[in-house]
C-alpha cells in the first residue's frame, strides 16, 4: 500500500485481478470487452483514484495531450479571448493549453513551428490570424501529422480545419447602416497590408458603397495597421479634408479609438460633427465616451468551436457533434454614430 505516490495501471490491474492490458482497454474504452470486467475495473479505478500518467501515455502514444495556441497577434484582448474559448472546450478533459507565440516576419518561423510541433508532439494546434492565413503553416501541420484548426476572417480551408467569421458581410451591413442614417462622405481606415481580415473588411465597405452608388475617392481611404497610433494619424489626415467626411469607419476598434482621440484633440464633437465606427467590440469600445458603435464577432465561441473540432472523435461517447465553421458578427449600436448635420 504505497500511498505516497499515485496509483499506476499496475496497481489497478493487481487489485481488480486482471492484466494491465485489460485496464488499458478500459481506459481507452475499447469496444471488445466483457461488460462485467469493465465495470469491475472501473470500480477499482474509482476506488484507487487512478488517473493515467500523461507522460507515460505521451511516450507510448508518441503524442502529447496538449493543445497548442500558435499566434502572432497584435491584439491582446483577442488572444486572451481565444485562450478562454479553448480552455472552455478542454475543461474537464485530459488536455492542457500550451501557448506559443511566433514571429510572423522571421524567415525561421516555419522551422520554429516545426521544431515545436515535432518536439512536443502536440495533439493539435489552433492557428490564429494573421499566421493562420499562411498556407505553408497548415501544410506543415499536415506533413507532421499534427491536427490543426485555423481561425480567420474568411474560409481558407476545409470545414474540418477552419473556423471563420464573415467580416465582409458584417462590414457591409455596418456601412449600410451609416448610409441609411444619411451619410455620404464616409472614410475608411484600413488594416495592415497582407492581413486577410483587412482585405475582407475593406471589400465589405466597398460592397455597401457600390450598392448605394456612392463613389469612393482615393482620398477617403487611409492606411492603418490596427494600432491606436495609426488610427490617430489616419484620422488627422482625413479630418483635414474639405469637405470633411461625416463618418469614419476604422477597420478595428483600436484605430477607431484613435480617431475619437484625434477628433477630440481638434475640438470636434462626436457624434455631432463626426460619426465613428469600429470593429471588434473590445471592452474599451464600450468604456470610452461616447461609447463606440462597432461590430462584435463571437471570438470566444469561435475559439471554443476550433478546439472542439480538434478534439472531435476523442471524447467518451464520440457523439459527432459537428461544430459550425462560420460565425456571424453583429452590429453593436452605441452613441458614436448619428445622422450627419449637412
Partner DNA sequence: TTGTACGCGTTATCAC
Partner DNA sequence: GTGATAACGCGTACAA
Instruction: Choose from DNA, a second copy, none: what does 328 bind? Cβ within 5-8 Å by kind.
Output: none
Instruction: Choose from a second copy, DNA, none: what does 125 bind? Cβ within 5-8 Å by kind.
Output: none
Q: For DNA, give the closer residue by CB, 22 or 73.
A: 22
Coil, helix or strand for 175?
A: helix
Q: How many helices (H) and strands (E) does the chain have?
A: 12, 12
Q: For DNA, give the closer residue by CB, 96 or 180.
A: 96
Task: Provide the residue count of the chain.
Answer: 342
Pairing of strands 326-327, 186-189: unpaired
Q: For a second copy, give the closer residue by CB, 20 or 115.
A: 115
Query: What is the gyration radius of the CA atoms in the chain, in angstroms?
Result: 26
The H-or-E segment that residue 250 falls in is strand 247-250
Q: How many residues contact DNA, by CB under 7 A?
A: 32
Instruction: Choose from DNA, a second copy, none: what does 244 bind? Cβ within 5-8 Å by kind.
Output: none
The H-or-E segment that residue 301 falls in is helix 299-311
User: With binding defined as CB under 7 A, does residue 59 bind DNA?
Assistant: yes
User: With binding defined as CB under 7 A, does residue 9 bind DNA?
Assistant: yes
Where b means 16+ CB within 10 Å and e means fewer, 302-315 reads bbbbbbbbbbbeee
User: With binding defined as CB under 7 A, does residue 136 bind DNA?
Assistant: no
Q: For DNA, give the closer residue by CB, 45 or 295.
A: 45
Cis before 290 (ω within 30): yes
Question: What is the C-alpha to C-alpha distance for residues 218 and 188, in angstroms, rounded to an integer?
Answer: 10
CB-CB contact of 162 with 196 (8 Å): no
Q: For DNA, give the closer residue by CB, 94 or 135.
A: 94
User: With binding defined as CB under 7 A, does residue 37 bind DNA?
Assistant: yes
Bridge partners, residue 189, by sequence: 222, 250
Min separation Cβ 143 and DNA, Å? 18
User: With binding defined as CB under 7 A, does residue 36 bind DNA?
Assistant: yes
User: With binding defined as CB under 7 A, does residue 93 bind DNA?
Assistant: no
Note the residues at the interface with DNA (CB under 7 A). Answer: 5, 8-10, 17-25, 27-28, 32-34, 36-38, 50-53, 55-57, 59-62
Amino acid at each position: 500500500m504505497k500511498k505516497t505516490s499515485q496509483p499506476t495501471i499496475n496497481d489497478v490491474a493487481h487489485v481488480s485481478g486482471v492484466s494491465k492490458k485489460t485496464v488499458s482497454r478500459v481506459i481507452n474504452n475499447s469496444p471488445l470487452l466483457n461488460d462485467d470486467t469493465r465495470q469491475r475495473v472501473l470500480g477499482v479505478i474509482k476506488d484507487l483514484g487512478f488517473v493515467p500518467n500523461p507522460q507515460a501515455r505521451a511516450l507510448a502514444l508518441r503524442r502529447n495531450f496538449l493543445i497548442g495556441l500558435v499566434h502572432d497577434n497584435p491584439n491582446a484582448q483577442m488572444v486572451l479571448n481565444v485562450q478562454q474559448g479553448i480552455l472552455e472546450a478542454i475543461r474537464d478533459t485530459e488536455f492542457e493549453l500550451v501557448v506559443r507565440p511566433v514571429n510572423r516576419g522571421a524567415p525561421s518561423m516555419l522551422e520554429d513551428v516545426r521544431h515545436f510541433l515535432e518536439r512536443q508532439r502536440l495533439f493539435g494546434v489552433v492557428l490564429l490570424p494573421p499566421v493562420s492565413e499562411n498556407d505553408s503553416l497548415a501544410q506543415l501541420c499536415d506533413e507532421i501529422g499534427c491536427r490543426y484548426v485555423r481561425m480567420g476572417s474568411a474560409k481558407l480551408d476545409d470545414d474540418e480545419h477552419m473556423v471563420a467569421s464573415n467580416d465582409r458581410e458584417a462590414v457591409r451591413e455596418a456601412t449600410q447602416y451609416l448610409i441609411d442614417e444619411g451619410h455620404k462622405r464616409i472614410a475608411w481606415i484600413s488594416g495592415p497590408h497582407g492581413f486577410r481580415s483587412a482585405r475582407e473588411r475593406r471589400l465589405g465597405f466597398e460592397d455597401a458603397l457600390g450598392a448605394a452608388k456612392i463613389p469612393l475617392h482615393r482620398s477617403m481611404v487611409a492606411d492603418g495597421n490596427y494600432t491606436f497610433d495609426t488610427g490617430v494619424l489616419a484620422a488627422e489626415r482625413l479630418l483635414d479634408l474639405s469637405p470633411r467626411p461625416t463618418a469614419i469607419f476604422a477597420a478595428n476598434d483600436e484605430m477607431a479609438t484613435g480617431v475619437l482621440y484625434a477628433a477630440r484633440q481638434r475640438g470636434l464633437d462626436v457624434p455631432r460633427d463626426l460619426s465613428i465606427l469600429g470593429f471588434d467590440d473590445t471592452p474599451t469600445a464600450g468604456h470610452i465616451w461616447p461609447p463606440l458603435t462597432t461590430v462584435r464577432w463571437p471570438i470566444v465561441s469561435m475559439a471554443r468551436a476550433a478546439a472542439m473540432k480538434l478534439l472531435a472523435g476523442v471524447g467518451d461517447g464520440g457523439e459527432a457533434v459537428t461544430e459550425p465553421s462560420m460565425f456571424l458578427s453583429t452590429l453593436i449600436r452605441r452613441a458614436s454614430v448619428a445622422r450627419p448635420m449637412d
